[in-house]
Structure 1
Amino acid sequence: MISHKGQTWEFHNPPVLISAATVVGPDEGQGPLANDFDLIHQDNTLKQKSWEKAEKALMEDAADLAIKKSGMQKDNINFFVGGDLMNQIISSSFAARTLSIPYLGVFGACSTSMESLAISSLMVGTGAAKYVLSGTCSHNCTVEKQFRYPTEYGSQKPPTAQYTVTGAGASVVAAKGEGPVVTSATIGKVIDMGITDPFNMGAAMAPAAADTIVAHFRDMKRSPDYYDLIVTGDLASVGFKIVNELLKEQGMPIPSRLFNDCGLMIYDIEKQGVQAGGSGCGCSAVVTYGHLLKRIEKGEIRRLLVVATGALLSPLSYQQGESIPCIAHAVAIERQEGA
């Protein structure tokens, strides 16, 4: 049974994350969460002929690993819900071609990790599917080439810029089984504060994160201390400071012990050249499906809220002088009772 509360779906028979897998590149493998990833590639090309083909391979690797870890065969998976940042979500769509699983492509920019998980959970929770593969990916070089400057150009980046994660995360969502459960999902609204700078994504996305967090607590009639940890997707140092300020203004401050950001967690921003921190579809995906689920499994966290953020611009909209519309989707993941 599922109830609808404002912007939020509450799952009374919560879908289960029976498996999850993460695959990352060399920079992520040198960060503080390296031990929590399933596969670390030592070369950004993944022995492919282009970065775009490498990104597709990341998604394929994560999907294959998640299915294998679930104990299922590929034929048991009813649907694959995924997306990414590339033109017409080609990384996920071409991976779906390889997987040959019925596919729903979604686009929420860097919020796609939780958008795909929310939709997968809704499908399982309504009985529309028994097993759904959910996932997303990004690659530093493909995103730089598409949205900013080709890496060969050697452009200097301002301190507000973020470093796109090379990585993919996938999970298998099921009606029953062992693992953490999805208890609710809050679907965000598009928020646009008029920011036009693609090198300041954190500032652009922070208002959307704040809006969805406030909506989640309003809909669920909860306070922040219901959760052991609340993480935003990839606001990094600039956006994370802003979202804290916005939440205080709206009377919903989150204590620092309960609040973090995936873009700050995945890299050591003091030692790695990642400007303000991490971003990209793969950022919240690999931190959640790797590090955070492992913490739930160990009992360090029982209740987790992941608020993945996304900037919904395209090269075309930027060239036309458009501002950057943003969105955030929140998914509550909890340790099963009795676990």
Structure 2
Amino acid sequence: MGTKRQGRYTVMFEKPPIIRSYAAIVGEKESEGPLGAYFDTVCEDPMMGQDSWEAAEGQLQYTAVLKALDKAFLRPEDIDYLFAGDLLGQTIATSFGVMELQIPHFGLYGACSTMGESLSLASMAIDGGFASRVVAVTSSHFASAEKQFRYPLGYGNQRSLASTWTVTGSGALVLENAEECSEQAAKKCVRVHGITTGKIMDYGIKDSQNMGACMAPAAALVIASHLKDMNRKPEDYDRIITGDLGTVGQKILFELMREEGYDIEGSHMDCGIEIFDHETQDTHAGGSGCGCSAVTLCSYVMHQMEIGEWKRVLFVPTGALLSKISFNEGLSIPGIAHGVVLEKDG
């Protein structure tokens, strides 16, 4: 299987890529939440100057990639591959959004776990010697998600208390082979040290308004598998960060982890809980969408690691693998999660 494998689900890199730069672009509602000060750009126009919600989401990705490249003093032609995805059918926000960049492109779909998937594959490409610089980017948009998965905005439907609010935003990271830059510069950067790839988990839940419950088993599998593969404890991480389980999914996650013999309450953080203010913003169980974990990672999480507040983080975005077709056919909603180990030297 190769010396990079650690146990059944985990790979640790021989040449951990560095995160050269990152950018988070969000909508106005997200900027009004607790993490507002950490985002790069706030888009007050939800249409992003476009003619449709889908095109607006594509513009979010385009803007996030250009911002991340600009912060690294790079151009699109300096990038070997682009790993990108979104929530929409056939990932159309990505396809139309990044087309103008003309970067060799891998389109991905892992629902709200897509940032974990894109980071995993981008890091593998660099560690394997197939690329020197790679961009990972994902996005979501409240209006485009509501249009596809739920109800038109004009319908004014009542949302259940277990439901989450799809984040309008896009997060992008530039990953680079550490050997391409100076040793001094590399030491300042956060590195992707390894990944733990999840399996599709299905507990038979059919409530599309309670996706936290659908995704919690997948998150528990990845976290427990990673700790076992690495022979580590939750305390070995400054934070174990899930994507968008929200308040409902977090409680289920804690119960499932206790069944596995782990107590993660002291180190756990959920992007869906952190991005909105539960008391002042009407988002019910929290935030969700591909952009939720992406913008949280590319702002607050990276900031905490760069200033040395956190040294090691297990980043575990989660996704609910449903579509309009599967839901209308009465199928259950499987979940998936992807774990990424981030570490800061020194």
| Same fold, judged at TM 0.5 (above) | yes
Residues 1:206 and 2:216 aligned together: yes
| CA distance in 2: counterparts of 1:58 and 1:305, whole angstroms | 26
| CA distance in 2: counterparts of 1:59 and 1:257, whole angstroms | 34
2:307 aligned partner? 298
1:316 aligned partner? 325
1:83 aligned partner? 85
Counterpart of 1:333 in structure 2: which amino acid? L
- Residue in structure 1 matching 2:197, options 148, 169, 187: 187
- Residue in structure 2 matching 1:20, options 12, 15, 22: 22
Contact kept in structure 2, 1:113 and 1:281, CA below 8 Å: yes
Contact kept in structure 1, 2:161 and 2:284, CA below 8 Å: yes
Unaligned runs of 5+ residues in structure 2 are none
| CA distance in 2: counterparts of 1:28 and 1:96, whole angstroms | 23
User: Superposed, which structure 2 residues align to 1:220-259 within 5 Å?
Assistant: 220-254=230-264, 256-259=265-268
2:225 aligned partner? 215
1:116 aligned partner? 118
Contact kept in structure 1, 2:190 and 2:342, CA below 8 Å: yes
Counterpart of 2:106 in structure 1: which amino acid? L
Residues 1:107 and 2:109 aligned together: yes
Contact kept in structure 2, 1:185 and 1:330, CA below 8 Å: yes
- Residue in structure 2 matching 1:9, options 3, 8, 11: 11
2:46 aligned partner? 44
| CA distance in 2: counterparts of 1:315 and 1:127, whole angstroms | 39
- Residue in structure 1 matching 2:67, options 65, 87, 90: 65
Q: CA deviation at 1:96?
A: 2.7
| CA distance in 1: counterparts of 2:3 and 2:18, whole angstroms | 14
Encode CA deviations 1:287-327: one digit per residue, 9 max, x unaligned: 01111000111111111111100001111111111100110
Please state whether the residue corresponding to 1:109 is helix, strand or coil: coil
TM-score normalised by the chain length of structure 2: 0.95
Change in CA separation of 1:145 and 1:223 when aligned onto 2, cut-off 3 Å: same
Q: CA deviation at 1:103?
A: 0.1
Please state whether the residue corresponding to 2:325 is helix, strand or coil: helix
Encode CA deviations 1:92-149: one digit per residue, 9 max, x unaligned: 1112311110000111000001100000000000000000010100000100110011
1:264 aligned partner? 273
Please state whether the residue corresponding to 1:257 is helix, strand or coil: coil
Counterpart of 1:315 in structure 2: which amino acid? K
Residues 1:56 and 2:58 aligned together: yes
1:334 aligned partner? 343
Please state whether the residue corresponding to 1:170 is helix, strand or coil: strand
| CA distance in 1: counterparts of 2:266 and 2:303, whole angstroms | 19
| Percent identity for Structure 1 against Structure 2 | 45
Counterpart of 1:92 in structure 2: which amino acid? T
Contact kept in structure 2, 1:208 and 1:309, CA below 8 Å: yes
Contact kept in structure 2, 1:2 and 1:11, CA below 8 Å: no
Encode CA deviations 1:152-176: one digit per residue, 9 max, x unaligned: 1000011000000000000011011
Please state whether the residue corresponding to 1:32 is helix, strand or coil: coil
**Number of aligned pairs?**
336
> What's the Cα RMSD here?
1.0
Encode CA deviations 1:256-278: one digit per residue, 9 max, x unaligned: 33111000000001110101100
1:175 aligned partner? 177
Larger CA deviation: 67-76 vs 272-281: 67-76
Please state whether the residue corresponding to 2:68 is helix, strand or coil: helix
1:133 aligned partner? 135
Encode CA deviations 1:190-212: one digit per residue, 9 max, x unaligned: 00000011100001100110011
Please state whether the residue corresponding to 2:4 is helix, strand or coil: strand
Please state whether the residue corresponding to 2:71 is helix, strand or coil: helix
| CA distance in 1: counterparts of 2:224 and 2:95, whole angstroms | 33
| CA distance in 2: counterparts of 1:233 and 1:26, whole angstroms | 20
Contact kept in structure 2, 1:2 and 1:126, CA below 8 Å: no
Counterpart of 1:12 in structure 2: which amino acid? E
- Structure 1 segments (4+ residues) deviating >6 Å: none
Please state whether the residue corresponding to 1:46 is helix, strand or coil: coil
Q: CA deviation at 1:2?
A: 6.5
Please state whether the residue corresponding to 2:317 is helix, strand or coil: strand
